[in-house]
Chains A and B, each alone.
Chain A
Amino acid sequence: MTEQNVVTNKGMVRAEFNFWVGKYMDKFYDNLENKKIVGNMCPKCSDVFVPPRQVCGKCNEKIPLDQNWVDLPDTGTLKNYTITKWKVTERGSRKVKDSVIGMVQIDGSNTAIIYKLSNIDPAEVKTGMKVKIEWNDKTKGEPGDIKGFVKA
């Protein structure tokens, strides 16, 4: 086998995809821009989702758009974490510093969201610790409005 030629396909078409986030996430991002967390509650099992959802998968129950919204605090519990030097978007690319990536259950919700933990020594990180949102100074109504979580 001596076949070693490679044809690289790069930048031939612009094929980005723009996703409409939908009405539930519209409301979530509008609140995020004001540094507020909202979730919504399944009318059947009372699970609270952050971010909000149209359907509770477990119950297959629709959560009406105009009902069951829950205002939540910007604090939560660290449910799980992992520490990596690798860049998620570019395997083979190391960062100088460890990133601590956490799964945080916002107080009053039943699910966890994934964000970085900042200003913390990796040795100090413990499952179950209380954390709070570190907001970006300038919010735009997008996922990055939450810069990450810090120790509460």
Chain B
Amino acid sequence: MDKVGIVGYYYMKMSPDLIYGRYNLIFETVRGALDSVNLKKKDITTVISATNDYYDGRTISNAYCVEPAGAYLADESKAEMDGAFAAQYGLMRILSGNHKLAVVWGGSTPSCYPYDSAQLYQTDPTFERPTALVNNITAGGFQMRAYMEKYGVSAEDIAKVAVKNRKNAAKNPLANPEAQNANITVDDVLKSDILSDPVTELMYAAPCDGLAAILLAPEKQALKITDEPVWIKGVGSNQDPYYLGDRDLSECKSMEMAAKMAFDGAGITAKDVDFAEIFEQYAHEELILAEAIGLAEKGKANELNSEINGDIPINPSGGAIAGHAPFATGLMRIIEAVKQLQGKADGYQVKDPKVAIATGQIGFCAQNNILYVLEKGGN
């Protein structure tokens, strides 16, 4: 694969309610990414967005985003998936050889709509939807139970992940303030409100408002734009079956295959990874995905030292638990990985990383997964 660089990025501080027009948010996010490397609208050759018609409250929602996203009379398209998938689309546009700069942006504002209950609309309308028993909350309950019962992992082990991510979030200035808690304990997590047993409120990556944007450029162009590009060395994506009742929720086969594809492409293995930014919808999902990626054996991810200064830091930024802005979350994982590789994660910096992975997902219980291998460029 030709080298493609991540050359710029931006996301604003997340919030449960940004009280800010969506149009304005998109403009500030995309402009923020351009400003980060002193580029202008004229430099953009393609724009890819990650949004969802329902979450945007309008059909063909990208049509509305032309002007603020810098897509005025430009090549423009949308991935109705997590931003990390839009980044793959942007990557392909660059690899086509036709583009010198791709803007990839994504995000939404759940303060405007009922995010959790709207997940019912993912279910089969001819069978599951009328009984209205599945949304991302109840699906998370099934997934956590499947994992605990298969491997004998305890609720305490899973609560520790929530504690780690919420403490890390306290060090990440852009995290959702509601997720930042430097003094949280395992007991706090276990005793918080039960969302869907065994998942408690503090184990859940609650939706919040937020948008993110990254800039992609081919090698030659990337080196003109910045002296600290981060290279995309490999990418893999894969999809699990649709019906929850068809899947073994204790593991994530699609992430296993996505990771293998990405690692093979990059010519590395999971052992070569210095740290990981993983999109986890719930604390237990970080463990399931870490195992699928190959960072730990199945049922053993809770034994990893995944703290910021640990053997394999996972989600030093706090992960999605630090703030899950739907459709921006995967892009934020990529951005947080880039920040670390550039040595710019002030206050939560991993020691001297060279190779990172960042993941995105969409669908119930991480049905659809994508993984990037990123490498520090420049000096």
Q: Are both chains from one complex?
A: yes
A112 CB–B CB distance under 8 Å:
yes
Cα distance A1–B12 in the bound complex, in angstroms: 14
- Say whether A143 contacts B130, CB under 8 Å: yes
Map CB proximity to B onto A1-41 as digits: 1 under 8 Å, 0 otherwise.
10110000100000001010110010000000000000000
Does A46 have its Cβ within 8 Å of any Cβ on chain B? no
Q: Contact: B146 with A80, CB < 8 Å?
A: yes
- Assembly CA distance A19 to B57 (angstroms): 22
Query: Would you give the 0/1 interface string for A79-94, flagging 1 where the beta carbon is closer than 8 Å to chain B?
Result: 1111111111111100
The distance in angstroms between the C-alpha atoms of A21 and B198, with both chains bound, is 34
Chain B nearest CB, measured from A78 CB (Å): 11
B19→A3 contact, CB < 8 A: yes
User: What residues of A have a CB within 8 angstroms of the CB of B117 in the complex?
Assistant: 87-91
Contact across chains for A143 and B125 when beta carbons are under 8 A apart: no
Partner of B130, one of A90, A99, A113, A142: A142
Assess whether A73 is interfacial by the CB under 8 Å rule.
no
Task: Indicate if the CB atoms of A115 and B131 lie closer than 8 Å.
Answer: yes
State whether B132 touches A89 (Cβ < 8 A). Answer: yes
Instruction: Count A interface residues, CB 8 Å.
Output: 41
Q: Does B258 contact A (CB under 8 A)?
A: no
Of the listed stretches B42-50, B214-222, B237-245, B286-294, chain A binds: B237-245
CA distance A143 to B128 in the complex (A): 8
Are A83 and B57 interface neighbours, CB within 8 A?
A: no
Contact digits for A113-141, partner B, Cβ 8 Å, 1 yes 0 no:
11110000010000100000000000000
Q: Which residue of B lies closest to A92 (CB)?
A: B114
- Assuming the contacts A9-B57, A51-B127, A80-B146, asked whether A114 and B197 have C-beta atoms less than 8 A apart, the reply is no
Chain A CB within 10 Å — which of B114, B117, B195, B249 has the most? B117
Q: Are B130 and A111 in contact (CB under 8 A)?
A: no
Interface residue A42 (Cβ < 8 Å from any Cβ of B) = no
Chain B 100-139, CB within 8 Å of chain A: the 1/0 string?
Answer: 0000000000000011110010000111101111110110
Known contacts: A1-B20, A80-B146, A111-B246. The answer to whether A86 contacts B114 by CB under 8 A is no
Q: A86-B196, A90-B114, A114-B134 are in contact. Are A4 and B141 (CB under 8 A)?
A: no
Contact of B243 (CB < 8 Å), options: A19, A111, A144 = A111
With an 8 A cutoff between CB atoms, is A103 at the interface?
yes
Q: Which residue of A lies closest to B115 (CB)?
A: A91
Q: How many residues of B contact A (CB 8 A)?
A: 41
Whether A82 lies near B120 (C-beta < 8 A) is: no
Q: Is A101 a contact partner of B138 (Cβ separation < 8 A)?
A: yes
> Separation in Å of the A63 CB from the closest CB of chain B?
15
Contacts of B114 in A (CB 8 A): 90-92
- Nearest-Cβ distance from residue B87 to partner chain A, whole angstroms: 27
Cβ A103 vs Cβ B142 within 8 A: yes
A86 contacts across to B, CB distance below 8 A: 137, 195-196
Instruction: Report B245-287 CB contacts with A as 1/0, cut-off 8 Å.
Output: 1100100000000000000000000000000000000000000
Report if A88-B126 is in contact (Cβ < 8 Å); known contacts: A82-B138, A83-B197.
no
The CA-CA distance from A75 to B135 in the complex, in Å, is 25
Knowing A1-B19, A9-B57, say if A114 contacts B133 (CB, 8 Å). yes
Taking CB atoms, residues of chain B closer than 8 Å to A19 are 125-126
Which B residue sits closest to A83, measured CB to CB? B197
Cα of A143 to Cα of B125 in the assembled complex, Å: 10
Known contacts A89-B117, A89-B120; decide if A113 and B132 are in contact (CB<8 Å).
no
A116 contacts across to B, CB distance below 8 A = 131, 133
Chain B interface residues toward A at CB < 8 A: 18-21, 24, 57, 114-117, 120, 125-128, 130-135, 137-138, 141-142, 145-146, 149, 194-199, 241-246, 249
**Lowest 4 A-B CB distances belong to which pairs?**
A82-B141, A112-B245, A91-B116, A83-B197
29 sample A-B contacts, Cβ–Cβ < 8 Å, listed by A number? A3-B19, A17-B125, A21-B126, A25-B126, A25-B127, A51-B127, A57-B241, A79-B245, A80-B142, A82-B198, A83-B141, A86-B196, A88-B117, A88-B132, A89-B120, A89-B132, A92-B114, A99-B133, A101-B134, A101-B141, A101-B196, A103-B244, A111-B243, A112-B245, A112-B246, A114-B133, A114-B244, A127-B145, A143-B128
